[in-house]
Amino acid sequence: MSQIVAEFGRSRDPGPSLRRIEEHFGQSFQAWRIQLPREAVENRQRGTIVQAGWTIWFLFGSDESGEYLDYYSTHRMTSDSHVRIHEDGRVESLESLWEMRRTSDDPAEAERLEDEFWEHNEQVARVLEAKGFGLQGDEHGSAIVNRGLLESRESNRRIRGLTETADD
């Protein structure tokens, strides 16, 4: 069972384990010069980074194997990533929203594949919301639109309806 670590107002040295997490995160976003905010690392605070077209939600937590950082990143030019970096250096890919869905010439199979797509994305959206990685309105515009298109069948229809109305 994992828990979110939040010790606000108490700065502490991140130590070698969190420095490893911080370094791995920095390497992942090195091309855009994106790093975790120092204060967030020291205080194990959750946060959001909006920089260079990216929106990155992050939080610190711990489980039986030690501390970790979870983050969800989105950029209009690449697929979303949901990652856990463990203090021992292990990196785990977590489920992220699917952006593309399979289809079929067979109508029954096409419907089944569409249902599978939405079931997956709706489950991932619930996980992201539970982690505090939901939309707050301060994200990059493309993150807001993509989430709306991908999180649920209902939000997808709502956004598509807005754009179809605007095009008329």
- For residues 48 and 145, the model is more confident at 48
Would the pLDDT of 2 be above 50? no
* pLDDT confidence of residue 3: 40
- Secondary structure, 3-state, 62-109: EECCEEEEEEEEEECCEEEEEEEEECCCCEEEECCCCCCCCCCCCHHH
Tens-digit pLDDT profile for residues 128-155: 999 999 988 888 888 888 888 888 888 8
Q: How confident is the model at residue 45 (pLDDT cuts 50, 70, 90)?
A: very high
Tens-digit pLDDT profile for residues 100-122: 999 999 999 999 999 999 999 99
Would the pLDDT of 10 be above 50? no
